[in-house]
Amino acid sequence: MTRKSTDRPILSPPKLFAIALTLLAMLAAPAWGQSRPEVRPKVGLVLSGGGAKGMAHVGVLRALEEMKVPVDLVVGTSAGSAVAALYASGMPVEEIERRFIELDWLSSFRDDPGRAYKPVRRKQDDWRLPLAPGLGVSMDGIRLGGGLVTGQNLGFILSELTRNAALVEDFDELSIPFRAVATDLETGVEVVIGSGDLAEAIRASMSIPGVYAPVERSGRLLVDGGVANNLPVSVARDMGADIIIAVDITDPLLTNEEMQEAFSVVGQLTTMMTRRNTDDQLARLTDSDILIRPDLEGHSSADFFDGPVLFELGATAAREHAVALNRLAVSGPAWQAWRDSVEGGMWQPGPIARIEFTQGDRLASEFLRERIHQQAGEPLDVEQLEDDLKRIYGLGYYETVSWSMRPSEEGSVLMVRAREKSWGPNYLSFGLNYEDNFDADTRFNLAAGLRMTELNQLGAEWQTALQLGTQPWVRTQWYQPLDYGYDRFAVLGVEYRQDDYSVYQDGERIAEIDVGFRQIDLAVGMELGRNGEVRLGYVRGLASVDDELGASVAPSSYVHQGYASVQLVHDSLSDTFYPKSGAFAGIRGRFERDGLGSDREFDSVTGMLLGTGTWGRFNLTGLAYTRQVVSGEPGIENAARLGGFRQLSAYAPGEITGNDAALLSAYARREFGGPVMPWFAGVGFETGNAWDTMDDVRWSGLVRSWSLFAGVNTFLGPVQLAGAYNNEDDWTAYLNIGFSFTQLFY
């Protein structure tokens, strides 16, 4: 009997190899319940320049997030650099959209932070010399700045937008690695910025030649990156991008039919420059890359108010590439992990360890320090800091005033930088005022001023101004701060002014007299808060009165003047000529005495209140003015005069004259047109009169004037055409350029 074997058959070599492979695969597989990491290409996002059209980039970002397409690096030029930097810093797309809509982008094209940030002493003369074109004067001649604007307000905008990344110096350490592209003004080659101050990098990339002054960085002058590389595909490729999503908003070239104006020709030349380098970069794209071109026909680089429309156009263009973009999409968990990593990079402000100041040599180091309210050990207060910097800039000494943050071993360091004007410290300004009632009462004056600043470590100034025309005027004065904070000051001035006045009797012009003043004055004062000032002064001078035409109403004579004065002013008006908010309050007492060198003895008080507010495009302004002689006889040279535009408009200039005067008026105005040069129309009501003494004041004696006016605001002030009607059935028309309510007081 044969015994049956119980041994298992021996496995063959092929079977053993298969089992080994299976075991190795099981060992290499992730643990149960874990998913295999998604392997995806490195995606680079490239955003071109294009001014306001750059807001279409934000819509592209929104679409990418809808499709769950993560971005590993981002590169931008000009407007594209601004969008790219904000996204790289971790700012959500919804927040970027909100910020872009709320921002006043037009303010980036002017440096003046607003009249509210100027000291009161500047406001006193700005109605006479409103035009400050940035002309510097030196022994070498007249010098200009590097652009129409220095980019001061643009710097504030960018610093505020990027404050969540203020401590990042290496742009690879942002939530998403980032590069900005600028152009070396000397060589014309591209400059790739990957470190430093993020706001400054964007500012350099956006510095349109001839519009914004170049940005100085590491010994180079940098301008808009669109000059060298408007669509920096090559930069993204050098950063390691496997696949590039390029968004091109470069303007197309115009046809012959479209080039009918000079501006269109200039625009064509600019487009040719950017279009050429853009086409070079487009040639670097491969079949794996994605090119998005939003349809922006009908929109220009200045359409800053079309944000929502531009957002949607960008998103629509991106969605048209959904098939290609979906290949780059990740799963829900992977997308959430990516979003968490991006938003986790948002900077949380902490206490300031210390504050460092960088400025020129013309002023003492305490000059800046005394004007910054931010203190070491306190959390960063961006609103207060920018308010302080705007007031420093409002002094007129600096080309730019900026802030940034940098890390240190002891904590966050606040850097305050003030760059002195390269074309300073002496500046020219100009002015023009014109008034014509079409009835032989015409006043036309041209003015020019030279302001020499930073004459010592405390910031002394010497200003000389000359006015030629129907009201000649010249004044030179020395302004000396008595401390670094400008809280206390002294002023020494010499002045000559002359005016011709018509003398009226029963509404008829009977004579013309010439009144001239020569004086020297000394005052000491103190600033009260941000918009107030008090001055104590002494004036010694000589007044002349001469008959020119008509009846003899005042014998030709010279009158010695000598008086003390006290003046208290609050001025928070938003604009010299066209205020939309703020208030003015001023009171001045004058005490003329024989013991002070005067031929007359009298006391007078002048007061003025002005308030204005705006609701939408509707503005309402109210004014109260009075001049009263409390005691004594002031003489004809010191008479109060009303009449003329906005001073009882239906009456001729100087038609209403007396020792005492009062004026009450209200104006309602509606604005029309666009933001660049709006025009306005409105109505006005004025009532008041002048009297020999206040004992003669009667409500029944008040005269009234109603007016209709329309005009347009210009760099010289409003140009206005008005018609006025009074309670005596008289009509008057006016053409006025450069009227300011504050000139009633000063």
Residue 62, φ and ψ in degrees, nearest 5? -60, -45
DSSP one-letter code for 189: -
Do 521 and 537 contact (CB within 8 A), yes or no? Answer: yes
- Given a contact cutoff of 8 angstroms between Cβ atoms, the answer to whether 643 and 653 are in contact is yes
Amino acid at 595: G
Catalytic residue, chosen from 111, 197, 224, 251, is 224
Residue 224 is a catalytic residue: yes
Return the percent helix, strand and coil in the chain, to nearest 5: 25, 40, 35
The helix (H) or strand (E) run that includes residue 411 is strand 411-420
Hey, CA dihedral for 309, 311, 314, 316, is it positive or negative?
Answer: negative
User: Pairing mode, if any, of strands 582-592 and 557-571?
Assistant: antiparallel
Element (H, E) at 324: helix 322-326
Positive or negative, the CA dihedral 360, 122, 543, 472 is positive
* CB distance 342 to 434 below 8 Å: no
Position 459, amino acid:
G
The CA-atom distances, in angstroms, between 360 and each of 226, 357, 418, 420, 424 are 32, 10, 7, 6, 12
For residue 146, count CB atoms less than 10 angstroms from its CB and return exposed for 0-12, middle for 13-18, buried for 19 or more.
buried
- Contact by Cβ (8 Å): 172, 223: no
Are 53 and 299 contacting, i.e. CB atoms less than 8 angstroms apart? yes
Single-letter residue type at 470: T
Name residue 413's amino acid.
V
CA–CA gap between residue 517 and residue 174 (Å, rounded): 66
Whether 435 and 443 have beta carbons less than 8 Å apart is answered as yes
Side chain identity at residue 258, one-letter code: E
Q: Assess whether 289 carries a catalytic annotation.
A: no
Bond from prior residue into 678 cis (ω within 30 degrees of 0)? no
Give me the sign of the Cα torsion angle 76, 79, 83, 88. Answer: positive
Active-site pick, 48, 72, 78, 740: 78
In the block, which residue shows the tokens 């140009």? Answer: 719
Coil, helix or strand at residue 560? strand
- 547: region left, alpha or beta (phi > 0 left; psi from -120 to 50 alpha): beta
Give how far the C-alpha of residue 414 lies from the chain's centroid of Cα atoms, to the nearest Å. 23
Three-state DSSP class for residue 341? helix
Q: Return d(Cα 86, Cα 79) in angstroms, integer.
A: 11
Name the strand (E) or helix (H) holding 392: helix 382-393
Look at the chain and count its residues. 746
Q: DSSP 3-state assignment of 668?
A: strand
Distance CA 193, CA 198 (A): 9
Residues identified as active-site? 78, 224
